[in-house]
Structure 1
């Protein structure tokens, strides 16, 4: 037993830098099976990609005449499978929700490590409003360890440090996602050489989910593109029109390389940005994730998205009692517990949930994301068993034979240890 404890301690020491704080890479002992890190060491690099001459939404509201344009630069974190022998452990320097308080995060990735040999599907991770590229870094590292190139960007006008006109996010979010897929598919160098952009996925949280649904095929409603109030939802120069259902511009946005989407707490149906007709145009395999107490995007409206995306097979994973922070944000950093003068309170509530442990939710998301992308991007049909579940987790029956094999009565959620599938519901609707 002593030797076993020493061995486990050594593994833990390798997993995170000595003395590091705010780990994003914790896997609970009771986590579902696919939460665990994979066999690949993880590398990480930071790159910037510039879309030249994008319509300048903010400036467009103040000037007349020709539509103003400007270069839009996306600072991006790229996690990828690293070469064997790569030493794990890095620190990410960023800021809290208040946009000014520095914070250090620790993870398993190795900065600027040499990539592994091979070709790996691409997964883009898109944060909320506000957010930044580190908000779901736990998922980026985790997926990279399992053979994906996972990419998360700072969306301008939507980050903690540059929050600006909301209409800019409404217009630009799906355009950012489309641009990044193109930029990464053309990326040169060692990292670019391992990206399989022909088999790509998208994870969007809140406003990232809004963008993912538009980019994936759900065109905006007439209400969204013609409304005059509230002003925050109105884009200047009718720039939202390009995302309208049935428009040529929206049809041209949809990328056949994107094979599957995960939308976590997607915002928009609660403000009639879609209707049933527009949502029916979404045709990619869709996994929706939400807390059933979400009062930002509105759980009842997320359920509308679930019911109205009739053009595809889709699932809805619900966390009972959880609010808008279900699954996506990393655990609240230590200094987010302290009062921020800029916010008039602690940033803690931006990351945490009142009911669920964040690491637990992260692990559940890592589990289902792995199964989802293994199935749809890697073609691993066996991964579908992790979605072939009784609808309500508590209804599953744990029953094993004397040999430790599942008996005929066993209906417990696949991959979940005994007594751990609690507070979750997974619903399915098939395409019509």
Structure 2
């Protein structure tokens, strides 16, 4: 298997794979409006962040045939004691350069993307207390930094977030020692069975991270673990839950699912949060299939006007980067607000035992409960 460059829809800087769509190109302006800035977290805690490098020597890398171990980069976001120091970089300039090239985005200087302003302080001292863990997985070809806005917000609300970069599945992952893993899987995503194999790899990545995640940067309540992902990352959340009972709850944000749920069903809480392509009977029918096999608490919410990338940082960064892609009709700031709200509500209910009425009756006009109210 060797890479097929999936040219992404919308702001290809932050694309992923849910069912394949015809390529669309973003039209860059001569110069970015920048610098880009992510919205401030809404919770009471300052946020810290750090990067970890883990190596699974029990298995070879499935994409790099020259690697006899699977290396992972894990970015932690966590509640910090104080907000001291400058915010961490969004990504390195080299990562930005490779990402822009891989997505075939011209006219955007790499520094305009890498200088995006964040809110988490690098290596900040964690605050006291024990917090639930949320594993975060990005879409195919994307680094986990494309979910920074959501990660920072969850950390500010009292969660430790472990964002996994799955090497050789995105255009740029910085490994230990500064080595860069480029997208070796990108020429395989049209192969038969690619999605099923890819989510199995990611499920194994998640289990390894849960086995080896150190407690240095924050105290984690390991009895309260959930997983959230966008696109292939969302499909991987379901796959990880099927394989690892430690993942107590999961959210799939607009991702076609591939893992087969046992006929006996999956009884742990799950949320589908998507765009119009995931309405019942819509272009992607994988949610229809899996909905019947989710036997525990479950919700299926579609955001009117959302695009596949609305659950990432893409729409937030587009105008600042001088890009004019189509992202549906839901403005980027509103998409980020709704994503943060419904993800946090789900996690508060199932990891913190705080009932959330809006999951039964969404108060936001864009949020439609499926299967009953999707067409309204």
TM-score by length of 1: 0.64
Give structure 2 stretches of 5+ with no counterpart: 1-32, 104-108, 173-181
Indicate the residue corresponding to 1:126 in structure 2: 137
How many equivalent residue pairs?
A: 310
Indicate the residue corresponding to 1:196 in structure 2: 221
Q: Residues 133 and 221 of structure 2 are in contact (CA less than 8 Å); yes or no, is this contact kept in structure 1?
A: yes
Give structure 1 stretches of 5+ with no counterpart: 1-18, 27-35, 61-67, 218-253, 339-347, 394-412, 414-420
1:363 aligns with 2:332: no
Deviation (angstroms), 1:313: 2.2
Query: 2 CA distance for matches of 1:257 and 1:150?
Result: 15
Query: 1 CA distance for matches of 2:317 and 2:305?
Result: 19
Match of 2:119 among 102, 108, 117: 108
Q: Residues 45 and 156 of structure 2 are in contact (CA less than 8 Å); yes or no, is this contact kept in structure 1?
A: yes
Instruction: Give the secondary structure class of the aligned counterpart of 2:352.
Output: coil
Change (3 A) 1:178 1:53: closer
Deviation readout 1:309-363 (Å, 9 max, x if unpaired): 332221111022333223234423457545xxxxxxxxx64xx613111221111
Query: 2 CA distance for matches of 1:197 and 1:425?
Result: 33
Q: Residues 83 and 114 of structure 1 are in contact (CA less than 8 Å); yes or no, is this contact kept in structure 2?
A: yes
Instruction: Give the secondary structure class of the aligned counterpart of 1:135.
Output: helix
1:386 aligns with 2:376: no
Indicate the residue corresponding to 1:92 in structure 2: 90
Deviation (angstroms), 1:160: 2.1
Indicate the residue corresponding to 2:202 in structure 1: 176
Instruction: Give the secondary structure class of the aligned counterpart of 2:90.
Output: strand
Indicate the residue corresponding to 2:76 in structure 1: 78
Indicate the residue corresponding to 1:311 in structure 2: 295
1:332 aligns with 2:335: no
Q: Residues 43 and 112 of structure 1 are in contact (CA less than 8 Å); yes or no, is this contact kept in structure 2?
A: yes
Q: What RMSD in Å do the two structures reach over aligned CA positions?
A: 3.1
Query: 1 CA distance for matches of 2:366 and 2:214?
Result: 45
Change (3 A) 1:255 1:293: closer
Query: 1 CA distance for matches of 2:264 and 2:337?
Result: 31
Query: 2 CA distance for matches of 1:59 and 1:258?
Result: 28
Query: 1 CA distance for matches of 2:303 and 2:286?
Result: 13
Deviation readout 1:23-44 (Å, 9 max, x if unpaired): 1225xxxxxxxxx611111000
Indicate the residue corresponding to 1:375 in structure 2: 349
Indicate the residue corresponding to 1:50 in structure 2: 55
Query: 2 CA distance for matches of 1:300 and 1:267?
Result: 7
Query: 2 CA distance for matches of 1:135 and 1:69?
Result: 26
Query: 1 CA distance for matches of 2:139 and 2:262?
Result: 22
Indicate the residue corresponding to 1:246 in structure 2: none
**Bigger Rg, which one:** 1
Indicate the residue corresponding to 2:23 in structure 1: none
Deviation readout 1:22-75 (Å, 9 max, x if unpaired): 21225xxxxxxxxx6111110000111111142443467xxxxxxx87211111
Deviation (angstroms), 1:144: 0.3
Query: 1 CA distance for matches of 2:38 and 2:245?
Result: 32
Q: Residues 293 and 322 of structure 1 are in contact (CA less than 8 Å); yes or no, is this contact kept in structure 2?
A: no
Q: Residues 81 and 148 of structure 1 are in contact (CA less than 8 Å); yes or no, is this contact kept in structure 2?
A: yes
Match of 2:147 among 125, 136, 148: 136
Instruction: Give the secondary structure class of the aligned counterpart of 1:258.
Output: coil
Change (3 A) 1:87 1:146: farther
Query: 1 CA distance for matches of 2:134 and 2:347?
Result: 9
Query: 2 CA distance for matches of 1:170 and 1:49?
Result: 24
Deviation (angstroms), 1:139: 0.7
1:208 aligns with 2:233: yes
Deviation (angstroms), 1:184: 4.5
TM-score by length of 2: 0.72
Query: 2 CA distance for matches of 1:97 and 1:298?
Result: 31
Q: Residues 275 and 302 of structure 2 are in contact (CA less than 8 Å); yes or no, is this contact kept in structure 1?
A: yes
